[in-house]
Amino acid sequence: MSKPTNKLTWCKARLGEDMNWWIHEISDSVHWDADGLGIIDPRQFQYIIDLLEPLSDYGLQNELVDDAFYSFGIDKVEKDKTVLLKRVQDSILESEDPLFALPDVLDEEKGPYADLLDHITKLRVKMLNDLIDFSQNLTVEELEEEIREAQNADFLEGRVSHFFSELTAILEYIPEGFELDDDDESKPKSEDEELEKDLADVDAVTDEKIEEDETMKWDEEEEADEDYEETTAPPDDDKGK
């Protein structure tokens, strides 16, 4: 389904110190404020899809997921290390290409992304009530209140909440003191591994070659030394003379 914002054709994203991608510049600066605007990278979005899968048994509507995001593909890496992303019309759920996902927050209260948050919150509560024997059923209000308190704490400490954190806070939520028997969902890798994979994905798509450093030449030097020893070694007949 095509999105209504025709001016939103590209954006530039930068990898932050928190290992999240943040919008650096955007084509439609009239409707979008790039300050503190995050974007979900392909690895993060796949992780979200994995977390959404258990909600399929409780009425997950995939069209709400699809409508909540604008899709962007990697075009190239700029000299300032920002990544130029071009808008694509592919369904972010059906595309075989790695896509960045920008939540549709033009209307924060009633827009497609807000609808998705409401939807998955209700389904997460429904699932938890089904799987955990609470003395009293968990409510949507209780889940929302806990998440709101955490977001307010981040705000007071000067941290901007990223969309990835907002979604995973809902999809991974379990009341304190409880656990799920099958709660073995894979967690994101360490920060170093995440950064390495993000940059590897960018290089693979843009076909940009990473400049070699000294450590990358060790294997070549070892092979060259071996070849030199073989060519300069004296014949067997000359040994011992």
CA distances in angstroms from 90 to 66, 70, 80, 187, listed in the order given = 10, 9, 28, 27
The number of CA neighbours under 13 Å toward the Cβ of 170 is 25
Q: Is the pLDDT of residue 186 over 60?
A: no
The candidate with the shortest Cα–Cα distance to 51, out of 161, 175, 169, is: 169
pLDDT for the residue numbered 152 = 85
**Tally of domains within the chain:** 1
Alpha helices in the chain (DSSP H): 42-52, 62-67, 112-131, 140-156, 163-171, 191-206, 218-232
| pLDDT tens-digit series, residues 142-183 | 999 999 988 888 777 778 889 999 999 999 999 988 988 754
Q: Is the pLDDT of residue 206 over 80?
A: no
3-state class (DSSP) for residue 48? helix
Gap between the Cα atoms of 51 and 194, Å rounded: 18
Q: Is residue 73 part of a domain?
A: yes
Q: Is residue 88 part of a domain?
A: yes
Q: Is the pLDDT of residue 93 over 70?
A: yes
Q: Is residue 230 part of a domain?
A: no
Q: Is residue 191 part of a domain?
A: no
With a pLDDT cut of 90, the percent of the chain lying above it is: 60
Gap between the Cα atoms of 28 and 202, Å rounded: 24
With a pLDDT cut of 70, the percent of the chain lying above it is: 73
| pLDDT tens-digit series, residues 65-74 | 999 999 999 9
| pLDDT tens-digit series, residues 3-37 | 456 789 999 999 999 999 999 999 999 999 999 99
The candidate with the shortest Cα–Cα distance to 66, out of 90, 50, 47, is: 90
Tell me the residue range of the domain where 149 lies.
10-185
Tokens (6 digits) for 87: 């808008």
Q: Is residue 206 part of a domain?
A: no
Q: Is residue 239 part of a domain?
A: no
Q: Is residue 118 part of a domain?
A: yes
Q: Is residue 53 part of a domain?
A: yes
